[in-house]
Structure 1
Amino acid sequence: MAREQFDLIVFDWDGTLMDSTAHITRSIQAACQDLGLPVPADQAASYVIGLGLREALQMAAPTLDPADYPRLIERYRFHYFLKDQATELFAGVREMLQALRDDGYLLAVATGKSRVGLNRALDQTSLTSLFDGTRCADETFSKPHPAMLHELTRELGQGLARTVMIGDTTHDLQMARNAGTAAIGVTYGAHAASSLEALQPEFVAQNVAELSAWLREHA
Protein backbone atom coordinates (compact mmCIF):
# COMPACT_ATOMS: atom_id res chain seq x y z
CA MET A 1 0.00 0.00 0.00
CA ALA A 2 1.39 3.42 -0.94
CA ARG A 3 1.84 5.77 2.00
CA GLU A 4 0.26 9.03 0.87
CA GLN A 5 1.07 11.48 3.68
CA PHE A 6 2.86 9.76 6.55
CA ASP A 7 5.59 7.27 7.26
CA LEU A 8 5.53 7.47 11.06
CA ILE A 9 2.30 7.25 13.08
CA VAL A 10 2.63 8.14 16.76
CA PHE A 11 -0.11 7.21 19.23
CA ASP A 12 -0.93 8.44 22.68
CA TRP A 13 -1.70 5.51 25.00
CA ASP A 14 -4.37 6.20 27.66
CA GLY A 15 -7.69 7.21 26.13
CA THR A 16 -6.44 6.60 22.60
CA LEU A 17 -5.38 2.94 22.51
CA MET A 18 -6.30 1.88 26.05
CA ASP A 19 -9.76 2.39 27.55
CA SER A 20 -8.38 3.77 30.81
CA THR A 21 -9.74 7.33 31.06
CA ALA A 22 -12.38 6.58 33.70
CA HIS A 23 -9.95 4.50 35.75
CA ILE A 24 -7.33 7.27 35.78
CA THR A 25 -9.96 9.88 36.66
CA ARG A 26 -11.24 7.82 39.61
CA SER A 27 -7.68 7.15 40.81
CA ILE A 28 -6.86 10.88 40.84
CA GLN A 29 -10.06 11.63 42.76
CA ALA A 30 -9.42 8.84 45.28
CA ALA A 31 -5.84 10.02 45.87
CA CYS A 32 -7.05 13.55 46.59
CA GLN A 33 -9.69 12.22 48.95
CA ASP A 34 -7.08 10.16 50.82
CA LEU A 35 -5.09 13.32 51.57
CA GLY A 36 -8.15 15.37 52.54
CA LEU A 37 -7.85 17.59 49.47
CA PRO A 38 -10.69 19.05 47.41
CA VAL A 39 -11.74 16.28 45.04
CA PRO A 40 -11.70 17.47 41.43
CA ALA A 41 -14.82 16.93 39.35
CA ASP A 42 -14.71 14.36 36.57
CA GLN A 43 -14.00 16.94 33.88
CA ALA A 44 -11.16 18.54 35.83
CA ALA A 45 -9.60 15.19 36.73
CA SER A 46 -9.80 13.85 33.17
CA TYR A 47 -8.45 17.09 31.70
CA VAL A 48 -4.96 16.39 33.11
CA ILE A 49 -4.72 12.93 31.53
CA GLY A 50 -1.84 12.81 29.09
CA LEU A 51 0.46 15.03 31.13
CA GLY A 52 3.33 13.59 33.13
CA LEU A 53 2.09 12.27 36.48
CA ARG A 54 3.60 15.02 38.62
CA GLU A 55 2.38 17.75 36.26
CA ALA A 56 -1.08 16.16 36.17
CA LEU A 57 -1.42 15.93 39.93
CA GLN A 58 -0.10 19.46 40.43
CA MET A 59 -2.89 20.68 38.17
CA ALA A 60 -5.53 18.44 39.79
CA ALA A 61 -4.51 19.45 43.34
CA PRO A 62 -3.18 23.01 43.09
CA THR A 63 -3.62 23.72 46.83
CA LEU A 64 -1.26 20.94 47.94
CA ASP A 65 2.13 21.86 49.34
CA PRO A 66 4.72 20.85 46.70
CA ALA A 67 6.58 18.90 49.37
CA ASP A 68 3.55 16.61 49.67
CA TYR A 69 3.26 15.69 45.99
CA PRO A 70 5.19 12.42 46.53
CA ARG A 71 2.45 11.36 48.96
CA LEU A 72 -0.23 12.18 46.41
CA ILE A 73 1.66 10.27 43.72
CA GLU A 74 1.92 7.26 46.03
CA ARG A 75 -1.82 7.29 46.71
CA TYR A 76 -2.62 7.70 43.03
CA ARG A 77 -0.47 4.69 42.14
CA PHE A 78 -2.06 2.66 44.93
CA HIS A 79 -5.55 3.21 43.53
CA TYR A 80 -4.45 2.90 39.90
CA PHE A 81 -2.76 -0.46 40.35
CA LEU A 82 -5.73 -1.90 42.27
CA LYS A 83 -7.65 -2.24 39.00
CA ASP A 84 -4.97 -1.69 36.36
CA GLN A 85 -5.30 -5.18 34.92
CA ALA A 86 -9.04 -4.64 34.38
CA THR A 87 -8.42 -1.97 31.74
CA GLU A 88 -8.46 -3.11 28.13
CA LEU A 89 -7.61 -1.88 24.66
CA PHE A 90 -10.45 -0.18 22.82
CA ALA A 91 -12.21 -2.57 20.45
CA GLY A 92 -10.44 -2.69 17.11
CA VAL A 93 -7.13 -1.22 18.29
CA ARG A 94 -5.11 -4.42 17.98
CA GLU A 95 -6.38 -5.07 14.46
CA MET A 96 -5.77 -1.46 13.40
CA LEU A 97 -2.17 -1.49 14.65
CA GLN A 98 -1.43 -4.80 13.00
CA ALA A 99 -2.86 -3.61 9.67
CA LEU A 100 -0.76 -0.44 9.80
CA ARG A 101 2.31 -2.48 10.62
CA ASP A 102 1.59 -4.87 7.75
CA ASP A 103 1.30 -1.87 5.41
CA GLY A 104 4.81 -0.77 6.31
CA TYR A 105 4.18 2.20 8.59
CA LEU A 106 6.51 2.92 11.47
CA LEU A 107 4.53 3.02 14.72
CA ALA A 108 5.40 4.74 17.98
CA VAL A 109 3.91 5.76 21.34
CA ALA A 110 4.25 9.14 23.07
CA THR A 111 2.62 8.99 26.48
CA GLY A 112 2.31 10.66 29.84
CA LYS A 113 2.82 7.26 31.45
CA SER A 114 6.08 6.40 33.15
CA ARG A 115 8.51 4.01 31.45
CA VAL A 116 7.68 1.31 33.98
CA GLY A 117 3.95 1.89 33.44
CA LEU A 118 4.14 1.78 29.64
CA ASN A 119 6.34 -1.31 29.59
CA ARG A 120 3.86 -3.00 31.90
CA ALA A 121 0.94 -2.05 29.66
CA LEU A 122 2.73 -3.15 26.49
CA ASP A 123 3.56 -6.49 28.09
CA GLN A 124 -0.01 -7.02 29.35
CA THR A 125 -1.46 -6.30 25.91
CA SER A 126 1.28 -8.14 23.96
CA LEU A 127 1.83 -5.08 21.75
CA THR A 128 5.53 -4.46 22.38
CA SER A 129 6.65 -5.89 19.03
CA LEU A 130 4.34 -3.63 17.02
CA PHE A 131 6.06 -0.38 18.02
CA ASP A 132 9.33 0.89 16.63
CA GLY A 133 9.83 3.51 19.33
CA THR A 134 8.26 4.85 22.52
CA ARG A 135 8.65 7.93 24.72
CA CYS A 136 7.39 8.45 28.26
CA ALA A 137 6.94 11.55 30.37
CA ASP A 138 9.57 10.55 32.92
CA GLU A 139 12.23 10.33 30.18
CA THR A 140 11.84 13.78 28.68
CA PHE A 141 9.59 16.85 28.82
CA SER A 142 5.87 16.35 29.43
CA LYS A 143 3.29 17.18 26.78
CA PRO A 144 2.62 19.64 25.22
CA HIS A 145 6.38 20.23 24.93
CA PRO A 146 7.49 18.91 21.50
CA ALA A 147 10.43 16.87 22.84
CA MET A 148 8.75 13.44 22.61
CA LEU A 149 8.00 13.86 18.91
CA HIS A 150 11.34 15.44 18.12
CA GLU A 151 13.16 12.60 19.86
CA LEU A 152 11.10 9.86 18.20
CA THR A 153 11.55 11.28 14.70
CA ARG A 154 15.30 11.58 15.21
CA GLU A 155 15.55 8.07 16.65
CA LEU A 156 13.59 6.54 13.78
CA GLY A 157 15.14 8.70 11.05
CA GLN A 158 11.85 10.29 9.99
CA GLY A 159 10.89 13.81 8.96
CA LEU A 160 8.41 15.81 10.99
CA ALA A 161 6.40 16.55 7.84
CA ARG A 162 5.84 12.80 7.33
CA THR A 163 4.78 12.18 10.94
CA VAL A 164 1.32 12.30 12.53
CA MET A 165 0.41 12.33 16.23
CA ILE A 166 -2.88 10.72 17.28
CA GLY A 167 -4.40 11.47 20.67
CA ASP A 168 -7.50 12.10 22.74
CA THR A 169 -6.39 15.30 24.47
CA THR A 170 -5.52 18.85 23.59
CA HIS A 171 -2.13 18.14 25.17
CA ASP A 172 -1.46 15.65 22.35
CA LEU A 173 -2.61 17.96 19.59
CA GLN A 174 -0.78 20.96 21.00
CA MET A 175 2.39 18.86 21.23
CA ALA A 176 2.02 18.01 17.55
CA ARG A 177 1.54 21.67 16.68
CA ASN A 178 4.58 22.64 18.75
CA ALA A 179 6.67 19.93 17.11
CA GLY A 180 5.60 20.69 13.55
CA THR A 181 3.81 17.39 12.84
CA ALA A 182 0.28 16.66 11.71
CA ALA A 183 -2.31 15.63 14.30
CA ILE A 184 -5.46 13.54 14.54
CA GLY A 185 -7.87 13.75 17.46
CA VAL A 186 -10.11 11.04 18.87
CA THR A 187 -13.23 11.93 20.86
CA TYR A 188 -13.70 8.67 22.78
CA GLY A 189 -11.09 9.54 25.43
CA ALA A 190 -10.58 12.41 27.88
CA HIS A 191 -11.24 15.70 26.05
CA ALA A 192 -14.33 16.99 24.30
CA ALA A 193 -14.59 17.07 20.53
CA SER A 194 -14.96 20.86 20.49
CA SER A 195 -11.65 21.30 22.33
CA LEU A 196 -9.88 18.98 19.91
CA GLU A 197 -11.42 20.59 16.83
CA ALA A 198 -10.30 24.04 18.01
CA LEU A 199 -6.70 22.94 17.38
CA GLN A 200 -7.54 22.11 13.74
CA PRO A 201 -6.26 18.54 13.44
CA GLU A 202 -6.28 16.70 10.14
CA PHE A 203 -9.24 14.64 11.31
CA VAL A 204 -11.28 13.96 14.44
CA ALA A 205 -12.45 10.35 14.84
CA GLN A 206 -15.48 9.37 16.87
CA ASN A 207 -14.30 5.79 17.38
CA VAL A 208 -11.50 3.38 16.47
CA ALA A 209 -13.33 2.19 13.37
CA GLU A 210 -13.47 5.75 12.00
CA LEU A 211 -9.80 6.31 12.85
CA SER A 212 -8.75 3.09 11.15
CA ALA A 213 -10.80 3.86 8.05
CA TRP A 214 -9.34 7.38 7.76
CA LEU A 215 -5.81 6.09 8.10
CA ARG A 216 -6.38 3.43 5.44
CA GLU A 217 -7.72 6.02 3.00
CA HIS A 218 -5.59 9.08 3.73
CA ALA A 219 -2.40 8.16 5.58
Structure 2
Amino acid sequence: MPLIPPGRYQYILWDWNGTLLDDAALCVEIMDQLLRRYGKPGLTPERYQRIFDFPVRDYYQALGFDFSRTPFEQVGTEFMVEYNRRWRTCRIRPHAQTVLRRFQEQSIPQSILSAASVTLVQQGLQHFDLESFFDDIHGLDHHYAEGKLAQAQAFLSRCTAAPESVLLIGDTTHDHQVARAVGMDCVLIHAGHHALERLQACGVPLCTTLQDLIA
Protein backbone atom coordinates (compact mmCIF):
# COMPACT_ATOMS: atom_id res chain seq x y z
CA MET A 1 0.00 0.00 0.00
CA PRO A 2 1.41 3.45 -0.90
CA LEU A 3 2.29 5.82 1.93
CA ILE A 4 0.08 8.45 0.27
CA PRO A 5 -3.32 6.96 -0.63
CA PRO A 6 -4.99 8.58 -3.66
CA GLY A 7 -7.44 11.30 -2.64
CA ARG A 8 -6.11 11.70 0.90
CA TYR A 9 -4.52 15.15 0.45
CA GLN A 10 -5.55 18.36 -1.28
CA TYR A 11 -2.06 19.87 -1.35
CA ILE A 12 1.51 18.58 -1.13
CA LEU A 13 4.50 20.58 0.07
CA TRP A 14 7.97 19.31 -0.75
CA ASP A 15 11.22 20.06 0.99
CA TRP A 16 13.99 20.66 -1.56
CA ASN A 17 17.47 19.91 -0.18
CA GLY A 18 17.85 16.22 0.59
CA THR A 19 14.27 15.33 -0.25
CA LEU A 20 14.31 16.07 -3.98
CA LEU A 21 17.91 17.22 -4.46
CA ASP A 22 20.36 14.54 -3.31
CA ASP A 23 22.95 16.90 -1.83
CA ALA A 24 23.84 15.48 1.60
CA ALA A 25 27.22 14.11 0.48
CA LEU A 26 28.14 17.47 -1.03
CA CYS A 27 27.20 19.29 2.19
CA VAL A 28 29.42 16.95 4.22
CA GLU A 29 32.34 17.38 1.83
CA ILE A 30 32.16 21.18 1.79
CA MET A 31 31.81 21.45 5.56
CA ASP A 32 34.67 19.01 6.10
CA GLN A 33 36.90 21.24 3.98
CA LEU A 34 35.70 24.36 5.80
CA LEU A 35 36.38 22.86 9.22
CA ARG A 36 39.90 21.84 8.24
CA ARG A 37 40.54 25.32 6.87
CA TYR A 38 39.77 26.68 10.33
CA GLY A 39 41.94 24.08 12.06
CA LYS A 40 39.05 22.02 13.40
CA PRO A 41 38.40 18.26 13.25
CA GLY A 42 36.90 17.07 9.99
CA LEU A 43 33.33 15.91 9.47
CA THR A 44 32.15 12.37 8.73
CA PRO A 45 28.74 11.52 7.25
CA GLU A 46 27.81 9.78 10.51
CA ARG A 47 28.58 12.80 12.67
CA TYR A 48 26.82 15.07 10.20
CA GLN A 49 23.64 13.02 10.40
CA ARG A 50 23.76 13.16 14.20
CA ILE A 51 24.19 16.93 14.59
CA PHE A 52 22.88 18.72 11.50
CA ASP A 53 19.82 20.77 12.37
CA PHE A 54 17.94 24.02 11.98
CA PRO A 55 18.60 26.81 12.46
CA VAL A 56 21.97 25.97 10.93
CA ARG A 57 23.58 28.56 13.19
CA ASP A 58 23.21 26.02 16.02
CA TYR A 59 24.72 23.31 13.81
CA TYR A 60 27.79 25.48 13.17
CA GLN A 61 28.22 25.98 16.91
CA ALA A 62 27.94 22.22 17.47
CA LEU A 63 30.78 21.84 14.98
CA GLY A 64 32.96 24.03 17.17
CA PHE A 65 32.76 27.45 15.54
CA ASP A 66 33.11 30.34 17.99
CA PHE A 67 31.13 33.24 16.59
CA SER A 68 32.92 35.72 18.85
CA ARG A 69 36.03 34.95 16.81
CA THR A 70 34.55 34.03 13.45
CA PRO A 71 31.08 35.46 12.77
CA PHE A 72 28.44 33.02 11.62
CA GLU A 73 27.77 35.23 8.61
CA GLN A 74 31.38 34.76 7.52
CA VAL A 75 31.59 30.98 7.73
CA GLY A 76 28.00 30.55 6.55
CA THR A 77 28.75 32.60 3.46
CA GLU A 78 31.98 30.68 2.83
CA PHE A 79 29.99 27.45 2.86
CA MET A 80 27.34 28.81 0.53
CA VAL A 81 29.84 30.23 -1.96
CA GLU A 82 31.26 26.74 -2.43
CA TYR A 83 27.82 25.13 -2.40
CA ASN A 84 26.56 27.51 -5.07
CA ARG A 85 29.57 26.64 -7.18
CA ARG A 86 29.03 22.88 -6.93
CA TRP A 87 25.36 22.00 -6.37
CA ARG A 88 24.86 21.26 -10.07
CA THR A 89 27.07 18.19 -9.60
CA CYS A 90 24.28 16.68 -7.47
CA ARG A 91 21.41 14.64 -8.85
CA ILE A 92 17.70 14.65 -8.32
CA ARG A 93 16.64 11.76 -6.11
CA PRO A 94 15.60 8.60 -7.99
CA HIS A 95 11.91 8.40 -8.93
CA ALA A 96 11.39 12.11 -8.21
CA GLN A 97 9.92 12.95 -11.60
CA THR A 98 7.72 9.84 -11.58
CA VAL A 99 6.25 10.72 -8.20
CA LEU A 100 5.81 14.40 -9.02
CA ARG A 101 4.09 13.50 -12.26
CA ARG A 102 1.77 11.03 -10.51
CA PHE A 103 0.55 13.70 -8.10
CA GLN A 104 0.20 16.15 -10.96
CA GLU A 105 -1.92 13.64 -12.88
CA GLN A 106 -4.10 13.30 -9.78
CA SER A 107 -4.60 17.10 -9.88
CA ILE A 108 -2.92 17.59 -6.50
CA PRO A 109 -1.19 20.98 -6.44
CA GLN A 110 2.42 20.94 -5.25
CA SER A 111 4.81 23.60 -3.96
CA ILE A 112 8.27 23.76 -2.42
CA LEU A 113 8.70 24.64 1.27
CA SER A 114 12.38 25.24 1.92
CA ALA A 115 14.82 26.78 4.38
CA ALA A 116 16.99 27.65 1.38
CA SER A 117 16.76 30.89 -0.54
CA VAL A 118 13.98 31.13 -3.10
CA THR A 119 16.52 32.11 -5.74
CA LEU A 120 18.61 28.98 -5.16
CA VAL A 121 15.57 26.70 -5.32
CA GLN A 122 14.39 28.42 -8.50
CA GLN A 123 17.76 27.77 -10.08
CA GLY A 124 17.55 24.12 -9.07
CA LEU A 125 14.07 23.61 -10.49
CA GLN A 126 15.14 25.23 -13.75
CA HIS A 127 18.35 23.21 -13.97
CA PHE A 128 16.57 19.88 -13.46
CA ASP A 129 13.51 20.86 -15.53
CA LEU A 130 11.07 20.49 -12.64
CA GLU A 131 9.39 23.90 -12.71
CA SER A 132 6.20 22.64 -14.33
CA PHE A 133 5.35 20.47 -11.33
CA PHE A 134 5.16 23.29 -8.79
CA ASP A 135 2.81 26.18 -8.15
CA ASP A 136 5.17 28.17 -5.96
CA ILE A 137 8.33 28.23 -3.85
CA HIS A 138 8.05 29.17 -0.18
CA GLY A 139 11.57 29.89 1.03
CA LEU A 140 13.89 32.54 2.44
CA ASP A 141 15.36 35.72 1.02
CA HIS A 142 18.84 34.86 2.33
CA HIS A 143 21.11 31.82 2.64
CA TYR A 144 21.39 31.40 6.43
CA ALA A 145 18.78 28.60 6.71
CA GLU A 146 17.02 29.74 9.87
CA GLY A 147 14.13 27.33 9.33
CA LYS A 148 10.78 27.39 7.60
CA LEU A 149 8.03 27.60 10.19
CA ALA A 150 7.14 31.17 9.23
CA GLN A 151 6.99 30.15 5.57
CA ALA A 152 4.63 27.27 6.39
CA GLN A 153 2.38 29.58 8.38
CA ALA A 154 2.33 32.12 5.56
CA PHE A 155 1.48 29.41 3.05
CA LEU A 156 -1.47 28.18 5.12
CA SER A 157 -2.77 31.72 5.58
CA ARG A 158 -3.19 31.93 1.80
CA CYS A 159 -4.11 28.32 1.06
CA THR A 160 -7.76 27.28 0.77
CA ALA A 161 -6.98 23.72 1.92
CA ALA A 162 -7.29 22.91 5.62
CA PRO A 163 -3.97 22.13 7.35
CA GLU A 164 -4.94 18.49 7.93
CA SER A 165 -5.42 18.05 4.17
CA VAL A 166 -1.87 19.25 3.42
CA LEU A 167 1.11 16.88 3.42
CA LEU A 168 4.72 17.95 3.93
CA ILE A 169 7.34 15.57 2.52
CA GLY A 170 10.79 16.14 3.99
CA ASP A 171 13.97 14.52 5.23
CA THR A 172 14.72 16.09 8.62
CA THR A 173 13.16 16.32 12.06
CA HIS A 174 12.67 20.02 11.35
CA ASP A 175 10.18 19.11 8.63
CA HIS A 176 8.24 17.07 11.18
CA GLN A 177 8.40 19.87 13.75
CA VAL A 178 7.09 22.41 11.25
CA ALA A 179 4.28 20.13 10.08
CA ARG A 180 3.22 19.37 13.65
CA ALA A 181 3.31 23.05 14.64
CA VAL A 182 0.87 24.06 11.90
CA GLY A 183 -1.32 20.94 11.85
CA MET A 184 -0.13 19.35 8.61
CA ASP A 185 0.70 15.69 8.07
CA CYS A 186 4.29 14.69 7.38
CA VAL A 187 6.15 11.89 5.63
CA LEU A 188 9.92 11.65 5.99
CA ILE A 189 12.52 10.13 3.68
CA HIS A 190 15.81 8.83 5.01
CA ALA A 191 17.99 10.77 2.61
CA GLY A 192 21.30 11.47 4.31
CA HIS A 193 20.82 14.75 6.20
CA HIS A 194 19.52 13.10 9.40
CA ALA A 195 20.29 9.73 10.94
CA LEU A 196 17.60 7.09 10.64
CA GLU A 197 17.16 6.95 14.41
CA ARG A 198 16.36 10.66 14.57
CA LEU A 199 13.69 10.29 11.90
CA GLN A 200 12.18 7.18 13.47
CA ALA A 201 11.78 9.05 16.76
CA CYS A 202 9.34 11.44 15.03
CA GLY A 203 6.77 8.66 14.80
CA VAL A 204 5.55 9.53 11.29
CA PRO A 205 5.59 7.44 8.10
CA LEU A 206 9.13 6.91 6.87
CA CYS A 207 10.36 5.86 3.44
CA THR A 208 13.74 4.99 1.97
CA THR A 209 12.91 5.95 -1.62
CA LEU A 210 10.43 8.36 -3.15
CA GLN A 211 8.88 5.42 -4.97
CA ASP A 212 7.53 4.26 -1.60
CA LEU A 213 5.16 7.23 -1.64
CA ILE A 214 3.11 5.83 -4.51
CA ALA A 215 4.05 2.13 -4.80
Q: TM-score, normalised by structure 1?
A: 0.83
- Specify the alignment match of 1:32 in structure 2: 35
Where in structure 2 are the equivalents of 1:46-125 lying within 5 Å? 46-47=49-50, 51=54, 54=57, 56-65=59-68, 68-125=71-128
Identity percentage over the alignment?
Answer: 19
Q: Per the alignment, in what secondary structure is the counterpart of residue 71 of structure 2?
A: helix
Q: 1:150 aligns with which of 148, 153, 163?
A: 153
Code of the residue aligned with 2:33 in structure 1: it is A
SS in 2 for 1:71: helix
Amino acid in the other structure paired with 2:209: N
- State how 1:158-173 maps to structure 2 within 5 Å: 158-173=161-176
Determine the structure 1 residue equivalent to 2:213. 211
1:210 aligned partner, one-letter code: D
Change (3 A) 1:132 1:49: farther
Provide the aligned length of Structure 1 versus Structure 2: 210
Deviation, 1:50, is 6.5
1:153–1:210: structure 2 CA closer, same or farther, 3 Å change rule? Answer: same
Q: What's the offset of the Cα at 1:38? A: 4.0
> What RMSD, in angstroms, separates the aligned Cα atoms of the two structures?
2.6
Q: Which amino acid is the alignment partner of residue 105 of structure 1?
A: I
Task: Say whether the 8 Å CA contact 1:21–1:49 is kept in structure 2.
Answer: no
1:41-63 Cα deviation digits (max 9, x unpaired): 43343456563554543444443
- Distance, in Å, in 2 between the alignment partners of 1:52 and 1:113 is 11
Contact 1:6 1:164 in 2 (8 A): yes
| 3-state SS of paired residue (2:132) | helix
> Contact between 2:115 and 2:145, CA under 8 Å: does it hold in 1?
no
Query: Residue in 2 aligned with 1:7?
Result: 10
Which SS does the other structure have where 2:194 is aligned?
coil
Q: Do residues 21 (structure 1) and 21 (structure 2) align?
A: no
The unaligned stretches of length 5 or more in structure 1 are 214-219
- For residues 61 and 140 of structure 2, the distance between their equivalents in structure 1, rounded to whole angstroms, comes to 15
Query: What secondary structure sits across from 1:24 in the alignment?
Result: helix
Give distance in 2, aligned partners of 1:22 and 1:46. 11
Q: Which has the higher contact order (CA 8 A, sep 6+)?
A: 2
CA distance 1:9–1:135, shift in 2 (3 Å): same
Task: Say which SS state the counterpart of residue 123 (structure 1) adopts.
Answer: helix
SS at 2:21 equivalent: coil
- What SS does the corresponding residue of 2:93 show, helix, strand or coil? coil
Runs of 4+ aligned structure 1 residues displaced above 6 Å come to none
**Cα separation, partners in 2 of 1:20 and 1:57, compared to 1, 3 Å:** same
Q: Which amino acid aligns with 1:110?
A: L
CA contact (8 A) 1:25 1:46 kept: no
CA–CA separation in structure 2 for the residues paired with 1:22 and 1:205: 19
Q: Determine the structure 2 residue equivalent to 1:45.
A: 48
The offset of 1:147, in angstroms, is 2.1
Paired residues of 1:184 and 1:204 also in contact (CA < 8 A): yes
Residue 216 of structure 1 aligns with which residue? none
Gaps of 5+ in 2: none
